[in-house]
Chain A
Amino acid sequence: MIMYGLGILAFSYLSGQWLGETLGHLLGIDANVGGVGFAMLILISLKTWFEKKKWTDFEFGINFWNKMYVPIVIAMSASQNVKVAVSSGFLAVLAGLIPTVLLFAFFNVLIKSFNKN
């Protein structure tokens, strides 16, 4: 049933976002802390639980949105403020790119050193 899957996804999303907003509020900051992450964990737990109960025909409603992810990201890219990134001066470009490039350069080392521990 497509609508059950969609309902489960909507429930997970909203409860996760609610947790994230509440956590941000409790920490006294003006931001959602981990709402999407909590929602994902809720969805995975629900899925595991339903599968144990031998109920799996809800997954189609969720899979559609799973597959829609890339097209949505393309639309998101097309509505980014790219102009400000290009035209806001050299400092923004340097402060945005230097740490990114450095991090990519050290990514391998970081992962390896972590796996050793």
Chain B
Amino acid sequence: MQIFEKLVDKNGLVFAFLVIAAVVFASDWLAKNVLKNKIPGSAIAILAGLVLAYIGGIITEGEKGISDIKLFKGIGFMGNSMFRDFAIVATAIGASWAVMKKAGMLGVVSLLIGVSFFFFVGVLVAYIWGYRDAVSLCTIGAGACTYIVGPVTGAAIGASSDVIALSIATGVVKAIGVTILTPLVAKRIGLNNPSAAMAYGGLIGTNSGVAAGLAATDPALVPYGSLTATFYTGLGCLLCPSLFYLVLGWIL
């Protein structure tokens, strides 16, 4: 057993390949034989990943899901933002430049609508909950954009640490909600072509949610959604602590 542990410790990433392959295999089997292909295998695999992350969180009290368990730390390495972004960029090899250019304006507009919409609905929810000060409301609203915009905004306008933690949690809930909901509603909302994917990326924004949601829906749409989503966090970090904060103070 000790030899095995040492082996895995030394070869964490390779062990992660094996574990993820097993997850994919089990998910594909489940999708084919139990669910009769109604839900794609990749959607089940991503959901299984979230379940594993929850189990890891319960066991270790850590923040990085299953990868906080020493045996599985390679999974954290395999799923880190460097590999994720590198693979997202690689998906552009199958994308069409003409389509991106045609839907470019739709992408820009959807970005502006997306950031404002999530911010102000987030603020509204926090207001109804009982928060009344502009700093807390703004930080929670920013968290409703992404779990990066939340803490960046909170730090910029001087929010308390528990509100910042709340904004991170809000962003994580959004990312996970998007991951689970996207493949379920994709057909019904018309998310089945490149320009819709570009609008979706801009409107939803959260990188990991969009990445996982589109992967579970149709990997061919990934480059289009990711192209717009990649500007969302930056735009949120730009607008939330400045313009939106001023507007919020003005309304209150």
Contacts and interface: CB of A to CB of B under 8 A. Distances in A.
Interface of A: 9, 12-13, 16-17, 20, 23-24, 27, 29-37, 39-41, 43-45, 47-48, 59, 62-66, 68-86, 88-89, 91-104, 107-108, 110-111, 114
Contacts of A94: 125, 129
B159 interface: no
Contacts of A93: 173
Given A34-B231, A78-B79, A114 B109 contact: yes
Interface residues of B, number: 109
Contacts of A114: 106, 109, 199
B65 interface: yes
Secondary structure of the A contact surface, majority rule: helix
A95 B170 contact: yes
Contacts, number: 305
B250 to A, nearest CB: 21
A95 B230 CA distance: 22
A36 to B, nearest CB: 4
B246 to A, nearest CB: 16
A69 B53 contact: no
B39 interface: no
B24 to A, nearest CB: 7
25 contacts: A9-B86, A24-B234, A27-B234, A36-B89, A36-B207, A37-B226, A39-B89, A40-B227, A40-B230, A70-B42, A73-B79, A73-B84, A77-B49, A79-B53, A79-B56, A79-B67, A80-B49, A80-B65, A91-B129, A91-B170, A96-B144, A98-B121, A99-B121, A99-B144, A110-B203
